[in-house]
Amino acid sequence: MAGTDERRAADRERMVARQLEARGVRDERVLAAMRRVPRHLFLPAGHEDEAYGDHPVPIGEGQTISQPFIVAEMTALALSATPPVRRALDVGTGSGYQAALLAEVGFDVVSIERLPSLAERARATLAAAGYGRVDVRVGDGTLGCPDAAPFCAIVVGAAAPEVPSALSEQLRIGGVLVLPVGTRSLQDMVVVRRTPHGLERETAGACVFVPLVGEQGWEK
């Protein structure tokens, strides 16, 4: 067991060095979190050896866990909120890995997943990995969680055709919403910031995510 743990830790170190630092990820909080969170625990049985590869991995129900670089970038953008670490909303719980990273860097995390089977599995994995304080809910992520708003950061792990107004409205002043926006096959990573004067929007590069299904997203 000790040998396996050491090997997994070495895998995470290589992932951070080769996939994150080599591509310009500099936020030490994010790098430290990526070293600590055991990504292999968030993959389906039999896929653990794929955990630290430079690619997304299927997790069932037509969903994926994003490649490490993308998750690191989104976490760093979440930390650019002002104030940087308070309550965060993770839309599209999936495996629970993004929620774990947000918790690891200090956020109080609410995570919402439309598929009950994934939510149940993620809740159990998060608890086993030491992140049982993450509040995992089942619902339409495009509508956010009004009862827990406002959020200083909202991270969306699936692609929307447009920025859901329900999510941008749940940002506090200084808050940031990070999500892929575009077609079903190709998107841009969009960053929406709520300022005292309204919303500001910028893009942070091309990406490819599964569709965000819901009232303010795509139809099934």
Residue 166 domain flag:
yes
Rounded to two decimals, the pTM is 0.95
Residue 217 domain flag:
no
How many helices, marked H, and strands, marked E, lie in the chain?
Answer: 6, 9
CATH number at residue 171: 3.40.50.150
Q: Which residue is catalytic, options 66, 95, 111, 168?
A: 66
- Number of domains within the chain: 1
Instruction: Report whether 145 contacts 110 (CB < 8 A).
Output: yes
Residue 93 domain flag:
yes
CA 183 – CA 91 distance, rounded (Å) = 18
Residue 97 domain flag:
yes
Domain hosting residue 106, numbered range:
54-207
CA 153 – CA 130 distance, rounded (Å) = 22
pLDDT tens, the chain, 220 aa long: 567 889 999 999 999 999 999 999 999 999 999 999 999 999 998 888 899 999 999 999 989 999 999 999 999 999 999 887 899 999 999 999 999 999 999 999 999 999 999 999 999 999 999 999 999 999 999 999 999 999 999 999 999 999 999 999 999 999 999 999 999 999 999 999 999 999 999 999 999 999 999 999 999 8
Residue 138 domain flag:
yes
Residue 13 domain flag:
no
* Residue 111 is a catalytic residue: no
Residues 6+ apart with CB under 8 A from 3: none
CA 151 – CA 128 distance, rounded (Å) = 26
